[in-house]
């Protein structure tokens, strides 16, 4: 273990181990007799102490001693002196156990429980901790207990910061000391205490402090973790903000009943087909929030009441907090031209998962145009196969390009608060970028390259609202490409980060976005009506991102990539046509985000890896919180259990039962045999085409 060669035990060691085991078994047998019979005599309690001295991890023995203490404290003749004596005995037992194993969870928890009784002096605890922390300065049990003791003694955070600093100077590799420093500073920032009111004063000094550790030993990870925490403190705004919305501010939404309007007066970003007589309003926050409802978000229009709107979180884990919230605004079936104003956060109640209140109210408005059209069945061909292949697209003309460019600025909310970046944040990041470029010029350091990539990415994210471009995206992509070669063990992590940066680059400007926007061929189908198709195919993407800039997309081509997860796609509430052809999706549960896309009618998941593994490993390795929510809403009254085929394909049932697909392609997956296809037809009665074949 830990690089030490295994040695064969000596005969005398085996004999000693056998004797110890025999003694332990005898003690345990006698102890359990006392415990089961609730015997708390002096002899019984002393026996439990002997057992714990040999095996400090005996949780049952610690719990027995708690019961024994409560028994003595509830005796009629119990007085303050006897209480103190009983609790002091407990502290001595804990100390003896810790001498055997000072990383014993049970011992540290029991000591904390004894002190919580309030009859013991806490003054001796720091002296005891000094002994254990000298024996192992990185023992996180002792550091956790120290925080409890310091709080109980009302010891100042500044004094504890000084202690952590001394421990760091003793050993730069003391991860627990660095972690304790981050905990203390976080508490001070939250309290806004004294000189710690301003992060701009403290964080630059902390960067200088951490440089001493990093430059002393670039291969030690402790300092790098602390630097990552500092970076997060630098770029993260406490108060949540509204990052984007659909419809965008100042946009015109054209809603047509059965067929979309193809006129040039309206932007293809906002021309929308709807069978339900409603359309979604999507709010995308920069961090998960709760409390979004008709009180905290008001929608004013002439055709619907704000109180009738139900705001729903698009949360993977079915919680009541999410980055993305949606409500569906119903519109009348007659001709309509109306302005809609949406106010977010003018009434308090929106709170982030970190406990911060939404304190920067936002407002956006858009115009709604309703144009009812009667269905002409002679013009609608349900047999038409919608295929996102190269030959079915054409480049937009000049007039269409202008409409896209004019609409691009409407996609992002313009926040005029401290969103983004005070000067000190820019200066701190610029200084760190210069520092790490200098380090990498002297030494080839993988984690240094990763840190530089994170710094450049953070700098671009903060400056983007002002610069309208990502200055360092090419350099960041090159750094992640280098890391994939230098550190193949963590290849997938670097690949995912590379994919996110690439998508941010693609969506960062009108020009780069336009290169991926194509016009689908003229179609008679009511499902597809000459919209923009965003083609992000053949980009070697392994992870999706930049969703706040993709809320407008109705057709999306993600074919021929390397996606194993599509988490986050649920934010794209307008999606009606999606191609995931030729990716690396390995299970049906990977499709769960699509359940929340109520407008999805056409789906291509052909030539993935669904069914290659007999066990859906994502449900156990927890690569996504989505993997645990499938089937959680099971209604026991459902009659699905009467169908054996559906019982054997319960995951398919829960994934596809809420879909309103007209067309599905699943060929090329191991699971896609004729038996499984017949199950899909049962689950989705509205399905018209399966793998290009018209269903009866």
**Is residue 226's pLDDT more than 90?**
yes
Mean pLDDT of the chain: 82
Average pLDDT of the residues in 304-318: 84
In contact, 536 and 557? CB cutoff 8 Å: yes
**What percent of the chain is modeled with pLDDT above 70?**
81
User: What gap in Å lies between CA 510 and CA 407, rounded to an integer?
Assistant: 9
SS3 label, residue 666: coil
- CA atoms of 434 and 592, how far apart (whole Å): 43
pLDDT at residue 374, as a whole number: 55
Distance (Å, whole) CA 14 – CA 646? 58
* Separation in Å, CA 469 to CA 394, 504, 687: 27, 10, 43
Q: What is the pLDDT of residues 13-60, one digit of tens each?
A: 667 777 778 888 888 898 899 999 999 999 999 999 999 988 899 999
Taking the C-alpha atoms of residue 510 and residue 412, their distance in angstroms, rounded to an integer, is: 12
Span of 370-384, 431-445, 500-514 with lowest mean pLDDT: 370-384
Mean pLDDT of 221-227: 92
**What are the beta bridge partners of residue 578?**
556, 603
How high is the pLDDT of residue 251? 85
b/e map 438-477, b = 16+ CB within 10 Å = ebbeeeebebbbbbbbbbbbbbbebbbeeeeebebbeebb
Which residue, 392, 395, 397, 292, is CA-closest to 349? Answer: 292
* Arithmetic mean of pLDDT, 617-636: 47
Q: Could you tell me which of 287, 284, 298 has the C-alpha nearest to residue 247? A: 284
Query: Above 60 in pLDDT, residue 280?
Result: yes
Residue 495, pLDDT > 60, answer yes
CATH of domain 20-190: 1.25.40.120
State the DSSP string of 71-82.
HHHTSTT--HHH
Closest CA to 417 of 243, 233, 188: 243
pLDDT band at 624 (very low <50, low <70, confident <90, very high): very low
Determine the Cα–Cα distance for residues 293 and 226; give it in Å rounded to an integer.
38
Q: Strand, helix or coil at 690?
A: strand
Question: What is the per-residue DSSP string for 131-154?
Answer: HHHHH-TT-HHHHHHHHHHHHHTT
Give pLDDT, residue 187: 84
Residues of the chain with CATH 3.80.10.10: 516-621+640-694
- DSSP string for 379-433: G--TT------GGGEE---HHHHHHHHHHHTTSB----STTS--HHHHHHHHHHH
pLDDT band at 639 (very low <50, low <70, confident <90, very high): very low
* Fold (topology level) of 242-372: Immunoglobulin-like (2.60.40)
pLDDT value for 253: 84
Domain with CATH 1.25.40.120 in the chain: 20-190
CA 220, CA 445: separation in Å to the nearest integer? 11
* 355 Rama class: left (phi>0) / alpha (psi -120 to 50) / beta: left
Model pTM above 0.75: yes
CB 289 within 8 A of CB 353: yes
What residue ranges of the chain are covered by domains with CATH 2.60.40.1220?
242-372
Inter-residue contact 368 to 301 (CB < 8 Å): yes
Mean of pLDDT values over 417-432 = 76
Q: Which of 177-191, 395-409, 503-517, 652-666 has the lowest mean pLDDT?
A: 395-409
pLDDT class for 407, splitting at 50, 70, 90? Answer: low
Say if CB 366 and CB 250 are below 8 A apart: yes
516-621+640-694: CATH topology: 3.80.10
CA pseudo-torsion sign 154, 156, 161, 167: negative
DSSP state of 194: G
Q: Give per-residue burial for 221-243: e unless 16+ CB within 10 Å, then b.
A: ebbbebbebbbebbbebbbbbbb
User: Longest C-alpha distance within the chain, in Å?
Assistant: 96
List CB contacts of 237: < 8 A, sequence separation 6 or more. Answer: 286, 418, 419, 420
């Amino acid at each position: 273990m830990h690089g030490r060669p295994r040695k064969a035990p000596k005969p005398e060691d085996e004999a000693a181990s056998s004797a110890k085991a025999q003694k332990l078994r005898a003690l345990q047998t006698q102890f359990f007799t006392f415990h089961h019979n609730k015997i708390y005599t002096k002899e019984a309690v002393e026996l439990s102490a002997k057992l714990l001295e040999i095996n400090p991890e005996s949780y049952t023995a610690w719990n027995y001693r708690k019961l024994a203490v409560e028994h003595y404290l509830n005796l009629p003749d119990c007085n303050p002196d006897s209480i103190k004596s009983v609790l002091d005995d407990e502290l001595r037992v804990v100390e003896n156990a810790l001498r055997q194993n000072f990383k014993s969870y049970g011992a540290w928890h029991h000591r904390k429980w004894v002190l919580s009784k309030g009859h013991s002096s806490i003054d001796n605890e720091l002296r005891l901790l000094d002994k254990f922390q000298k024996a192992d300065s990185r023992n996180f049990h002792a550091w956790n207990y120290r925080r409890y003791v310091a709080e109980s003694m009302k010891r100042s955070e500044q004094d504890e910061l000084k202690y952590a600093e001394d421990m760091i100077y003793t050993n730069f590799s003391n991860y627990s000391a660095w972690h304790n420093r981050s905990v203390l500073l976080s508490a001070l920032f939250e309290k806004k205490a004294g000189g710690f009111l301003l992060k701009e004063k403290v964080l630059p000094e902390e960067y200088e402090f951490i440089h001493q550790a990093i430059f002393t030993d670039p291969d030690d990870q402790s300092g790098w973790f602390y630097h990552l925490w500092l970076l997060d403190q630098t770029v993260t705004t406490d108060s949540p903000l509204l990052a984007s919305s659909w419809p965008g501010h100042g946009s015109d939404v054209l809603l047509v009943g059965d067929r979309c309007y193809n006129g040039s007066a309206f932007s293809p970003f906002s021309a929308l087909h709807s069978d339900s007589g409603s359309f979604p309003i999507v709010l995308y926050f920069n961090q998960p929030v709760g409390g979004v409802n008709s009180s905290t978000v008001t929608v004013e229009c002439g055709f619907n009441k704000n109180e009738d709107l139900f705001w729903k979180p698009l949360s993977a884990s079915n919680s009541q907090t999410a980055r993305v919230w949606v409500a569906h605004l119903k519109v009348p079936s007659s001709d309509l031209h109306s302005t809609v104003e949406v106010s977010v956060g003018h009434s308090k109640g929106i709170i982030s998962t970190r406990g911060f209140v939404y304190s920067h109210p936002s407002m956006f408005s858009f115009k709604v145009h309703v144009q009812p059209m009667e269905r002409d069945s002679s013009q609608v061909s349900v047999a038409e196969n919608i295929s996102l292949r190269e030959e079915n697209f054409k480049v937009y003309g000049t007039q269409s390009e202008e409409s896209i460019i004019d609409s691009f600025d409407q996609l992002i909310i313009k926040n005029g608060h401290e969103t983004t970046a005070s000067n000190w944040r820019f200066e701190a990041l610029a200084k760190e970028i210069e520092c790490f470029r200098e380090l990498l010029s002297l030494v080839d350091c993988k984690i240094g390259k990763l840190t530089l990539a994170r710094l450049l990415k953070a700098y671009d994210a903060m400056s983007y609202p002002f610069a309208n471009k990502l200055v360092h995206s090419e350099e960041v992509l090159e750094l992640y490409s280098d890391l994939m070669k230098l550190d193949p063990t963590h290849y997938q992590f670097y690949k995912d980060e590379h994919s996110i940066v690439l998508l941010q680059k693609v969506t960062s400007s009108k020009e780069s976005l336009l290169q991926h926007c194509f016009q689908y061929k003229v179609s008679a189908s009511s499902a597809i009506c000459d919209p923009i198709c965003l083609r992000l195919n053949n980009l070697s993407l392994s992870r999706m991102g930049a969703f706040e800039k993709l809320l407008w997309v109705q057709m999306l081509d993600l074919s021929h990539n390397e996606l194993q997860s599509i988490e986050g796609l649920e934010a794209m509430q307008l999606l009606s046509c999606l191609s995931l052809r030729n990716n690396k999706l390995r299970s049906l549960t990977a499709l769960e985000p699509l359940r929340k896309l109520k407008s999805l009618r056409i789906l291509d998941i052909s030539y993935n890896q669904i069914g290659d593994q007999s066990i859906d490993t994502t449900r156990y390795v927890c690569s996504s919180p989505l993997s645990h929510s499938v089937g959680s809403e099971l209604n026991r009254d459902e009659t699905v259990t009467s169908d054996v085929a559906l019982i054997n394909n319960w995951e398919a049932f829960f994934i596809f039962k809420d879909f309103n697909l007209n067309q599905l392609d699943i060929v090329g997956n191991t699971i896609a045999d004729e038996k499984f296809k017949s199950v899909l037809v049962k689950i989705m009665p509205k399905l018209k085409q399966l793998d290009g074949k018209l269903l009866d």
